[in-house]
Structure 1
Amino acid sequence: MDFKQIQELIKIINKSNIGELSIEEKEFKITIKQKEDQQIQTVVAAPSAPIYAQAPVQQLAAAPAAGSLPAAQQPAAAPQKDNLITIKSPMIGTFYRRPSPDKPIFAEIGDEIAPGKVVCIIEAMKLFNEIESEVSGKIVKILVEDASPVEYDQPLFLVEP
């Protein structure tokens, strides 16, 4: 099961009255529980490394379905003071500004971006997840160094709409 499928499951559960869903495949197990206080808790366990992620339902539902990665999903954009929008990390992992060392950088300061444009990659458990912009505007600041670890909901870019 890939991240796109997990993301779609979360969206479906968010829109339904399903309280809990568990799926098991060979060495993979996922349990998605919807809480009454409008949160979804996702627990994913691989043979040797469990991952626990919890996020508000609205943020998970805001993640674009097309394009990339897990549940953490796509970056959520949140307005800040000075009319800037923050693109945040949808997951824990390693932040990369380019698809490989010999390829060009996805987004630089001053670049115009639009919804669906890939701005970075976050690698989690050997999966490289393209993070797409959900907003239009110009990148004014990159808040994370290339190849550095990021946390869930950590600000990555500041965008001027």
Structure 2
Amino acid sequence: MKAKEIQDLIDFISESGLEEVNIETDQIKLKIKRSAALNEKVLDMLKNMPSSAPSAQAAPAPAPAPAPAAQTPQPSAQPSQPSAPADSGDEGNYVTIKSPMIGTFYRSANPESDPFIQVGDEVKAGQTVCIVEAMKLFNEIESEIKGTIVKILVDDASPVEYDQPLFLVDPS
């Protein structure tokens, strides 16, 4: 399998919504999971591969892929530090709705639509509060708690990180 074919496969997976693909032949074993950090690492490796690489040389390329997946939990520990000041002081009794992924934050389904929620709105568990677009896929983010929106912490169409606080909710 050539680097271009692997890159086309990754693009197809990102557009299809599949979470994981495993391909195994006599010459190559390839495992691709949907993770922005992992896909960026694989694409970087593909760019560094010679385009006429024989299949035997293509097989080692996927082997480093699990290493970035093992590193993925490390960033989740870092974003929790910035949320600590948000929970201090007057905001200590509020619950934070955080981004479950890296992407672009949108308050409404499209530019012509009203925002899903405003400050002061009541939300129920399971109610859509925003959209995070990642790799051209629009993911509805739902509230896990019932309460009142106290503060919106991110501007519309802004990039967000994994575990970044998006909203403060008063659960009382």
Normalising by structure 2, report the TM-score: 0.55
Matched, 1:125 2:135: yes
Q: Distance in 2 between matches of 1:83 and 1:148?
A: 26
What's the offset of the Cα at 1:134? 0.3
Matched, 1:55 2:73: yes
Q: CA RMSD in A?
A: 3.5
Q: Which residue of the other structure, out of 132, 136, 154, is the alignment partner of 1:144?
A: 154
Identity of aligned residues (%): 50
Query: Structure 1 regions of 5+ residues with no counterpart?
Result: 7-21, 32-40, 60-78
Q: Which stretches of structure 1, 4 residues or more, deviate above 3 A after TM superposition?
A: 41-44, 46-53
Task: Give the secondary structure class of the aligned counterpart of 1:45.
Answer: helix
Matched, 1:45 2:45: no
Higher strand share: 1
Correspondence for 1:80: 87
Correspondence for 1:69: none
Query: Structure 2 regions of 5+ residues with no counterpart?
Result: 1-12, 24-29, 46-64, 77-85
Higher helix share: 2
Larger radius of gyration: 2
Task: Give the secondary structure class of the aligned counterpart of 2:73.
Answer: strand
Q: Alpha-carbon deviations, 1:9-39, whole Å to 9, x = none?
A: xxxxxxxxxxxxx7326x98128xxxxxxxx
Matched, 1:154 2:168: no
Q: Aligned residue pairs: how many?
A: 114
The amino acid across from 1:45 in the alignment is: N
CA contact (8 A) 2:129 2:142 kept: yes
Q: Alpha-carbon deviations, 1:26-73, whole Å to 9, x = none?
A: x98128xxxxxxxxx9964377479966238xx9xxxxxxxxxxxxxx
Decide whether aligned partners of structure 1 residues 49 and 117 sit closer, same or farther in structure 2, where only a CA change above 3 A counts.
Answer: farther
Normalising by structure 1, report the TM-score: 0.58
